[in-house]
Amino acid sequence: MIQARNDFDNTLVRHSLELNRVTPDTLQVNVGKLCNLTCIHCHVNAGPKRKEIITGETIDRILGWYESTNIGTLDLTGGTPEMVSDYQRLVSTVRGFSQPRRVMTRLNATIIEEPGYEWVPEFLAEHKVVVVASMPCYAPENVNEQRGEGVFDASIRAFQKLNALGYGREPGLELDFVYNPNGAFLPGDQAELQADYKAAMKEHFDIDFGNLFCIANMPIARFASYLKREKLYSDYLQTLKDAFNPSTVDSLMCRSTISVSWEGDVYDCDFNQMLGLNLDGQDAPLKLWDVDLEALSETPIRTGPHCFGCTAGAGSSCTGALA
């Protein structure tokens, strides 16, 4: 029986639901907060001046632990992961494990257009890295408003380069897009948006991609500041609560993902990580290399009001809608 600690837990109890861990299938490593952009919706508060970046030593310790597990997917997020100096070593080591793993990178495509990062498309293709790229709209003005002037054109050029290498067109070179709303509202229907995106990207830019993942904006970090500035915070939280969808709970990513910070600290998800919410019952963060998977499976998932961002409407996760 769940111990109700907050509104979200109470909602689970009201629906006779429990939020339990299953065998982890994904290790999500947030390699740091460095990014060339400062998007308005960023839940990481990432930007060009951030100094928090994973070290080579931490990467070694993560790699040592990871290889001893059967966790099938390494999901790299940030910041912009490719800006971390050991990024290439991290990816090629994991792809070269005796039991190779699937590697995903959460790509801010504009990095491909920055001087010094010309290697990114070929490197990703060579290592068959799954690319999940942010593209919040197919209309330039919406993208530039949310992510910064010039971001739309730079992203388009970058996707064309990835397509030219076979991404989004050939088997084994997966290119998916991420949509998030340009404001304090929930994403629309994922299948419909995907069809619209595919048609518009093909017609105007000859761009092909696989899936469109719709992700709700989380009321934390930079997006929370925006909501508070615009006096929309309470209304947005209420919108998320009112849209609670019980059928999303079974697929919540915290059930099957281990989230790790640039310092090797373990959290239930990237959102809890950004809020500094340690694993339930831990005063200080647990290091990944000290994790015993069996013991972890017994630990309750730590929840909070932001969890309504994952369960609203069709639900939201790093791979889009849940229900």
Told to check if 269 binds ligand SF4 by CB under 6 A, we report yes
Nearer to ligand SF4, 149 or 231 (CB): 149
Pick the closest to residue 220 from 285, 308, 151 (CA basis).
Answer: 308
Told to check if 121 binds ligand SF4 by CB under 6 A, we report no
Neighbours of 270 (CB within 10 A): 24
Residue 239: CA atoms inside 13 Å, Cβ hemisphere, count? 17
Burial class (CB in 10 A: 0-12, 13-18, 19+), 232: middle
Told to check if 252 binds ligand SF4 by CB under 6 A, we report yes
Give the footprint of ligand SF4 on residues 34-93 (CB under 6 A). Answer: 35, 37-39, 42, 44, 46, 78-80
Helix, strand, coil % in the chain, rounded to nearest 5: 40, 15, 45
Told to check if 272 binds ligand SF4 by CB under 6 A, we report yes
Q: Which residue has tokens 């994952």?
A: 310
Please state at what angle helix 87-95 crosses helix 56-67, rounded to 10 degrees. Answer: 10
* Residue of 105, 108, 194, 273 that binds ligand SF4 (CB under 6 A): 108
Instruction: Give me the least distance between CB of 88 and ligand SF4, in Å please.
Output: 19
What mask, x for binding ligand SF4 by CB under 6 A, covers residues 123 to 162? -----------x------------x---------------
Nearer to ligand SF4, 82 or 174 (CB): 82
Q: What is the C-alpha to C-alpha distance for residues 221 and 277, in angstroms, rounded to an integer?
A: 13
Helix (H) or strand (E) segment spanning residue 197: helix 190-205
What mask, x for binding ligand SF4 by CB under 6 A, covers residues 173 to 212? ----------------------------------------
Site of interaction with ligand SF4 (CB under 6 A): 35, 37-39, 42, 44, 46, 78-80, 108, 134, 147, 252-254, 268-269, 271-272, 301, 303, 306-307, 310
